[in-house]
Structure formats: C-alpha cells, structure tokens
A and B are shown apart, each in its own frame.
Chain A
Amino acid sequence: MTTTHLQTPAVRVRDLRKTFYEEQRGEIAAVDGISFDAVPGEVFGLLGANGAGKTTTLRMLSTVLRPTGGSASVMGHDVVEAGESVRQNLGFYSASTALYPRLTARETLEFFARINGYPEARVQTRVDELVDRFGIREYEHGRVEKLSSGMKQKVSIARTIAHDPPVLIFDEPTVGLDVMNAIEMVRVIDDLKADGKAVLYSSHIMSEVEKLCDRIGILHRGRLLALGTLEDLRASTGEHYLEEIFVKFVTEVSGSEAAEPGAFGEMTPPRS
C-alpha cells in the first residue's frame, strides 16, 4: 500500500469546500475543507453516513458542482479551470446517472466512447472489447429500456469506462442492487484497480469498503475525520472492524464538535 503513495496522484484534493445556501437554514457547509489524494492502481474509499458530503465531494470532482473554496484536480486538470479535460479523464457512476432508455446497449457504449473523446477509428474495437468483457453480446442490440436491472448495471459500468479513463468514480454503486449484482460490482472494481485505474469509491456499507479499498477516508458532516489504510485506522482506534472504527470516530467528534480537522493525529495526513 505504501508504494502507491509515491506515485503521482491521479486525483488531488486540497482544502476543498462547498457551501450551499438554504432560505430556512442559511449557509450549510456540505464539504468543509477536505484534502486527499488518489493514485493509479488504488481504490480510495470515502466512507460516511447519508449527508456526510460524499456525493457533494464526488460531484465537485466530476465538475457537476463548483467548489466554494480549495482546489481539486484530476490527472493534473483543475476541476474549475479545465472541466472538459477533467471529464474526459473521468468515468462517473452513480445511482443518479442513468442510461438512455431508447438506445441499444451497443449504441450506448458507442455514444459514450465518442462523446468522451475516444478516437473514432478505435470506437468499434473498444465497444467490442467491452461487450465481450461484460458479457453484453447476447443483448447488445436490445434497447436499454427492455433490459433487466442486472443487464442495465453491466451496460452502465461499461459506459462508465467506455472511453478508458484513468480515473473512475463510483458513488454508492451498490445501492438498490441485489446480492449477486453487488458482488459483481465489487469484482469489476477490483479488475479496474488491477488495470491501473485510480478508483474513488463512496459508500456507507462498511463491508464493501473494508473489502475493496486500499485507503479509506471517513467523512462526517463535511469533514474528513480520518484517512488511512484499514490497518492504520485499526491501529489508531484499537478497534478491528471498520464499523466499530467508524462509530468511534463519529462518536468522538460528536462529543467534541469543536475538534479541528487533524485532531486525530495518528491518521495518515494528506500529502501536501
């Protein structure tokens, strides 16, 4: 694990902030100064309860949201200054990114490969690769709206990587999936890691994060409470299971809301 830290980060986040304004609640800090890196060949997990700021963070990285403060880059491209380049180097998968129901599976893959800048001459070869890799061949000409949820999931993952991006974001990818499809998702992410991709994985399901992630960031109320490998987190808390580790961090910060980021000194600090 430590060797990955020596590599150039594919994703670099520094003091990233996002504030929303609501009429009744005023300003809300959804993300409150978080910093982390993700390197190629690594699955970086963002663990947090609902509303912790995981999706907001990932949306800023995918340029859907604009940061209020701090900075973030993907493959060296700033998310504010070079949004298009960031998105071309990124595959974004979440429950809120659905497929076009009226296109066939193959048309879907062709469209996403092309629009993300994959070389036109190699689009068909790439699509064939994906069709074989995900076992889509049987229904490649079937419209997405007619596919089962398992088939749609495969097409959805395939479209996320259609342009072969170096960075992949999976935001709560197993939400709503049955056990078999969730297992399949985890297997795919393991394969992507083996392919040398930098994977950002957000979830509130401890077992998945424990199984998949090389490093884990625990996010709570917009703050990164801890960051490190599972072993690091175990060592700093004295707990074995991630669930207990998570509860310990959250309980501590709830008891001391004034605690500043970095109060948990034994955690691996973000690289500067």
Chain B
Amino acid sequence: MKWREIGILYRHELRSALRERTIVVNGILIPIFLYPVMLWGMFTAVTFVQGLNEGFTSRVVIEGQLPALNAELRDSLAALPDVRIEDDVADPRTAVSEGRLDALVTLSPASGTPGALPGNFAVDVAFDGSETRSVNARDRVEAVVERWRARWLGELGEDLGLDAADRGVFVLRSDNVSTARDVSEQLLGYMLSVFLIIMVAVGCFIPAVDTTAGERERSTWETLMTVGADRGSIVVAKYLYVATLGVVAGALNVVALMVSIGAVLEPLLGQSGASIEVALSPMAALVMVGAASLLALTFAAAMMVFASFARSFKDGQAMVSPVMWLIFLPILLGGEGSDVNLSVNTALVPLLNVSMMIRDAIRGVFMWEGIAITLGVSVALVVVLLLIARRILSFEEFLTGSFDGSFWRFAKDRLLTRG
C-alpha cells in the first residue's frame, strides 16, 4: 500500500464522482436543500391546513332553552360570524357523527344545587373529536360561553362591591426557565441525531455502489485490476473516497440545518411567541465531526462489501438496500421518545451509540466514558468489516467479477465451506 498511489486513485475517484449526476444529487444537493425544502413544505402545509380549518363556518344546531336571565346568550351564539345556525336537521346527533353537522349545542336550565342560582344554566356540546372542523365548532361555542360566564361573574362581583383588582385572586403564573438556546438544542438534538446518520448513509450509498458494481458494469474493473498499483491501495482509495462523500453529505446536512432552522422556523415560531437560537459549541461540533467520520467509515465498509458482489449498478443498489434498513433500526430505537441515553451499556450497541452521542453533544452533555466506548466499538466494527473485505479480495472469482451471486451466497460457498 503506497500513499502516492492512494492519492492518485482517490483524486481519480472523486473527479469521476463529481461528474456523475446521481452522486452529486444524492451526496451534495439533497443534503443542502433537504431541510429548507422539507421544513418550508411542512410548515407551509400546516399553516395552510390551519387556515382552511379556521376559515370554515361552523354548522351548529342549538336545542333547548335558557333561563330568561341569560336568554341573550343564544343570540350571541347565533351572531358569531363564523357560526351558522342550522334549523332543519333531522337527528342532529347522528348528523354530527356523519360529518353533516359540526356541533349540537343543547341548552338547559341548571338542575340540582347549581340550579338554585338564579338564571344558571348548562350547555352540552356534542362534537366529533376526530374532525378538526367539529373541534373548532366546539371551541367557538366554548369561547362564547366563557366570555358570558366572565361577564356574568364580573357583574355579580360589582353587585357585591368587588372591583376588578379584588376579583383577581389566586393568580397562577408560569415561568419557563429554558432559554431559546435550550429549545433549539432540544430540537436540534432530535433532528440532527436522526438525519445526520441517514444523510451520511445516503451520501455513501451511491458512491459505494458506483465504485464497485458500477465499475463492473462499465467494464472498467478489469482495467483497474491491470494497472501497476498495489491492490490494497486501490481498495483503500475507493474506501476513503466513499467515506469522504459520506462525511461531506453529513457536514453539508448539518450546515443546511443550522441555516434553515433559523431562517425557516423562526418566522413561523415567532407567530406563537416562541423563539429559536441556533448555535453549536466547538466541542459539540468536534464530537459531531468525529461521529460523522465514524459513521461514514462504517457505512462505506459495509456497503462496499455488499455492493462489490453485484455485476451491475441496479444489482448493487438491491444488495446494499438491506444495509440501509439495518442502519435505520438502531436510529429508531434511540429516537427522542425512547428514553434511551448514552451509557456504558448502550455505548456497546453500534450506530445507536453514535446517534445518542450526537444528541448528547448538541445538548452540551459529554459522557466521556460512553464516548470512548462508542469510539472503540465503532473502530472495532470498521476493522471487522475491512478484514472481511480483505478476505473477499483474496478470492479470484471476486477479483475477476466472475462470481455470480450475493454476499450471503459467497459467505456460504466460500468463507464457510472452504474457509
């Protein structure tokens, strides 16, 4: 293995790759534009749907009568601009469940002890909790009743000689001690730990297939096998090239997220009073770069081992797809809602450990023992994969591309039986 040869081959692979549309799209453009487009699309869709729901006029049937003291409440409900009172609806309860009506409001004088209060009443609202516009109708009715109640209590208080300040007792105040940065770290920790892994895998996927199965399909594999370079140098150069594109995809993805999360989310969150502050500490950035590199080295080795058995690009994609699914499994296990944290035990699980390491780093938590174990486990996994690759390379059928089968068949026929 010679570094001069590796350098020549590495530059050659990169140059070829950057001229291939599929690789550029998957490894560069998607990581850059995924978040802005995805976030913009998601929030635009949510805003649009909210607007639609708020724009709907609620179809309401009002049944029953109110005591004379509060009889005007019925007129207040009927006067709402976004509520239409329906008169001719047979079996209104069924109509609500069938979606022909949004709410059935039943007014009745209060019974029992509350009934002793003059003019007291009860309002029953039947609505369909599975329909947004029906829930909106319920909310609109409730808002009117709440305002009516507040006004009523206010008037009662004044009759008793209590002014507004006297009535303001038992105040409940909330104080959110988290900063905008804490909120951002929570959000980033979840999104980045998942998407960084996926994006590094996506960044490795096409190059791994292209540099192995793609070479066979284009008949350049044998050309490369006859050049005056050490075969180990060829493998190392290809491996580093695939890993590089994985790291690049991951890094671009992080930068795109940092930019887009502020530019896209803040204006949207601003409407609700929330704010966001995007910043990563140098240590967190360093841990993330290390994590992305570990992921890329692992994915590159695993994907190349599988893809190298394929004779065509299409076969290669089919052979590497299971690796992609295996990658997603630990990510799901380590997701935000799982309550699984990086510990000495969880650090022993490949990929899951890296996912948790990224999440912790973004939140400013550095569990160094876990990070050290994660590093050791990841390096061990890479070494095992490279040893498998080296063993495979020693088989002539593989070198010439004459082996007609998958990795599993090769493992069964060659590695296990002839061993």
Contacts and interface: CB of A to CB of B under 8 A. Distances in A.
B332 interface: no
A84 interface: yes
Given A64-B400, A66-B396, A163 B223 contact: no
A267 interface: no
Nearest to B218: A98
Contacts of B223: 97-100
Contacts of B218: 98, 100-101
Interface in A91-120: 92, 94-103, 107, 111-112, 114-117
B222 A64 contact: yes
A115 B8 contact: yes
B228 interface: yes
Contacts of A177: none
Interface in A52-72: 59, 62-66
A115 B5 contact: yes
Nearest to A120: B4
Most A C-beta atoms less than 10 A away, residue of B19, B220, B228: B228
A85 B2 CA distance: 13
Given A62-B226, A92-B226, 7 more contacts: A59-B400, A64-B225, A83-B231, A87-B229, A97-B223, A102-B20, A115-B12
A94 B220 contact: no
B222 A96 contact: yes
B222 A94 contact: yes
B232 to A, nearest CB: 10
B226 A64 contact: yes
B83 interface: no
B15 A87 contact: no
A65 B230 CA distance: 15
B396 A98 contact: no
A115 B226 contact: no
Contacts of B228: 84-85, 87-90, 115-117, 163
B282 to A, nearest CB: 38
Listed from nearest, the 9 A-B pairs whose CB atoms lie closest are A88-B228, A98-B219, A116-B228, A92-B226, A97-B223, A87-B228, A102-B19, A102-B16, A62-B226
A17 B225 CA distance: 21
A84 B400 contact: no
Interface string B209-227: 0000000001110110111
A100 B220 contact: yes
Contacts of A95: 219
A97 B222 contact: yes
Interface string A152-183: 00000000000100000000000000000000
Nearest to B402: A20
Given A97-B226, A102-B19, A117-B228, A111 B12 contact: yes
B77 interface: no
